[in-house]
Amino acid sequence: MLDIAQKIGDLPDFGQVLHVGSLPIVGRVFLAPMSGITDVTFRRIARRFGAAMVVSEMVACDDYAQGEREAVLRAQGQGVAPHVVQLAGCSPHWMGQAARLAEQSGAALIDINMGCPAKRVTGGYAGSALMRDLGVARALIEATVQAVRVPVSVKMRLGWDHDSLNAAELAHIAEDLGVAMVSVHGRTRQQFYKGSADWTAIRAVRDAVRIPVVANGDCRSLDDCHAMLRQSGADAIMVGRAALGQPWLVGGLSRALARAEPVQIPSRPTRMAAAIEHLQGLCSDFGALAGLRHARKHLNAYASMAGAPEALRLALVTTEDVSRAIAGLREIFGMEPVHTHEHEVEFA
């Protein structure tokens, strides 16, 4: 696997320290958990570029506890510190079992998913469906907290719909049960990802608890970071979909926020090295062909962010030859950029 550590270097710590239970987090911009996106290589790269914290893909607790291969791959954290595993489920028994296993495997923080809006998740009474039954949510939180010594956090939405905005109530319950941090996506489940995230509505959660609160939803820029913190009163921010194709963004925002400076973008050779490492990591985990297919959404995003023409993007996402995909990335990032990045730098 291509090692880009020499290009990026060991980034210094920066920003205020946020204490999540016994776990200190340096910086205020986190990478959000995203199914099919935040695999371990993506997280490792984002962390290396300075993301204050990165979170695994959502892991089904029963599958993970029973050793199902893909669930285990989703929960792995080699080279990531602190390692955060997000668990989803509706059974206190399996949540406790999975949390213990994650802790034994090196997780420094367990995150409980109570925010996923996908029908395949809510149909099983997990994810954001738990916001419709706070009794079950309470039982899941209690089982998880009691199963581990590491801190536990909960990620939620504002509520199931606008007639039941109960995030503040759920956050208060979570705090009473020993949860160390809550993250809130500024939409209801029924909104899915439509409309705009309501950052101001997150302030009700901030006012309801004393533990750290993280605001999530629609953060794409440094201006968004400032607005989210101001409107929500949150302690930190999670960046989700905007990081696809640019895992360096989260660290760039965290650094810029802490230092009151513009967001710095790595040089094209450094970004190319990161994209190739990501592809090779997926191929190592899933096998060459399955890894390449799994990588297509990422490859398309890397190419798009690099300004590649449509023909080159199409060739990149349709090839079933890893060496050709790597050659395609080299060609794309070797092109003259369409836009000049005013604050492009080489990390060293």
Q: Which pTM does this prediction carry?
A: 0.92
Q: Give the active site residue among 90, 116, 219, 225.
A: 116
What is residue 221's predicted lDDT score, i.e. its pLDDT?
A: 97
Q: How far apart are alpha carbons 115 and 112 in whole angstroms?
A: 9
What is residue 5's predicted lDDT score, i.e. its pLDDT?
A: 35
Q: How far apart are alpha carbons 59 and 49 in whole angstroms?
A: 24
Active site residue 116: yes
What is residue 337's predicted lDDT score, i.e. its pLDDT?
A: 67
What is residue 15's predicted lDDT score, i.e. its pLDDT?
A: 58
* For helices 40-48 and 268-286, angle between their N-to-C axes, nearest 10 degrees: 150
pLDDT mean values, one per 10 residues, the chain (348 residues): 36 70 97 97 98 98 97 97 97 98 98 95 91 97 98 98 97 98 97 95 98 98 98 98 98 96 96 98 96 97 96 96 97 76 45
Q: How far apart are alpha carbons 181 and 233 in whole angstroms?
A: 14
**Multiple choice CATH, 5-263, 3.20.20.70, 3.40.470.10, 2.160.10.10, 3.30.200.20:** 3.20.20.70
Q: How far apart are alpha carbons 140 and 293 in whole angstroms?
A: 35
Q: How far apart are alpha carbons 285 and 241 in whole angstroms?
A: 23
Q: How far apart are alpha carbons 254 and 243 in whole angstroms?
A: 13
Helix (H, G, I), strand (E, B) or coil at 17: strand
Q: How far apart are alpha carbons 216 and 261 in whole angstroms?
A: 22
Question: Strand runs (DSSP E) across the chain, as ranges?
Answer: 17-20, 23-26, 29-31, 53-54, 58-60, 84-88, 109-114, 152-157, 181-185, 213-216, 236-239, 265-266, 344-345
Cis peptide before 82 (omega within 30 of 0): yes
